[in-house]
Structure 1
Amino acid sequence: MTGLYQIRVVGGGEFTCGGDERVLLAMERCGAGDIGVGCRGGGCGICRVKVVEGDYRTGKMSAAKVSDSDLQAGYALACRLFPAGNLVIAVE
């Protein structure tokens, strides 16, 4: 794992996530349940979150679930969200 970062969910719990690990899978690995789980493939939108604080990168996501303007506003699908530092996220 590249780096180990703290992920805090606004109004929820906290868990750790490696820099090369998807936030949704890290949440499941740690036994947390704050983010909805759907297809895990970037298409259904159930795990949509807003990154409130922190640096990150994303993988390929459905443009129907996260538009370019959504991306600019900090929205992402947790199944395609990789932390580059500690994150604070809000669940939709």
Structure 2
Amino acid sequence: MGERYRVHIENSGEDYVCPTEQSLLRGMEVLGRRGIPVGCRGGGCGVCKVHITAGDYEARKMSRACVSEDEERHGVVLACRVYPRGEISLEVIGKMARALGAAAPGPGDVSGV
């Protein structure tokens, strides 16, 4: 088993520990919160979009229909395709934000990105 890192969800103030071989989405599911949106788990549906605000991670291939190159450069990724490589802080956006009771940004608004 690899390293384990703390992941902080800024919207809710929650923290969880995520191993390097586990996606951020899977780590969120382990929190046991009802309503965490899960779609294809393969980077093609965009349901689990998050904005990484700090930390190191490995992002695997995601559909450009869900995350543009510009968004990805600014830390907007799909939680199902991201693996921690250090402590991470993130904001949930879109459908994920609604599920966690966070205020979802409007279209095209990614917290100042």
Q: Would the TM-score normalized by the shorter structure come out above 0.5?
A: yes
Matched residue of 1:84: which SS?
Answer: strand
**So what's the TM-score if we normalise by structure 2?**
0.75
Whichever of the two has the greater Rg, that structure is: 2
Show structure 2 runs of 5+ residues with no match.
Answer: 94-113
Q: Which residue of 1 aligns with 2:58?
A: 57
Q: Cα gap change, 1:88/1:35 in structure 2, threshold over 3 Å: closer, same or farther?
A: farther
Contact 1:50 1:91 in 2 (8 A): yes
Q: Which residue of 1 aligns with 2:2?
A: 2
Contact 1:57 1:84 in 2 (8 A): yes
Q: Which residue of 2 aligns with 1:80?
A: 81
Q: Which residue of 1 aligns with 2:67?
A: 66
Partners of 1:77 and 1:35 lie apart in 2 by 13
Matched residue of 2:86: which SS?
Answer: coil
Q: Cα gap change, 1:23/1:72 in structure 2, threshold over 3 Å: closer, same or farther?
A: same
Q: Cα gap change, 1:32/1:2 in structure 2, threshold over 3 Å: closer, same or farther?
A: farther
Percent of aligned positions with the same letter in both sequences? Answer: 39
**So what's the TM-score if we normalise by structure 1?**
0.90
Q: Highest relative contact order (Cα 8 Å, sep 6+), 1 or 2?
A: 1
Provide the aligned length of Structure 1 versus Structure 2. Answer: 92
Show structure 1 runs of 5+ residues with no match.
Answer: none
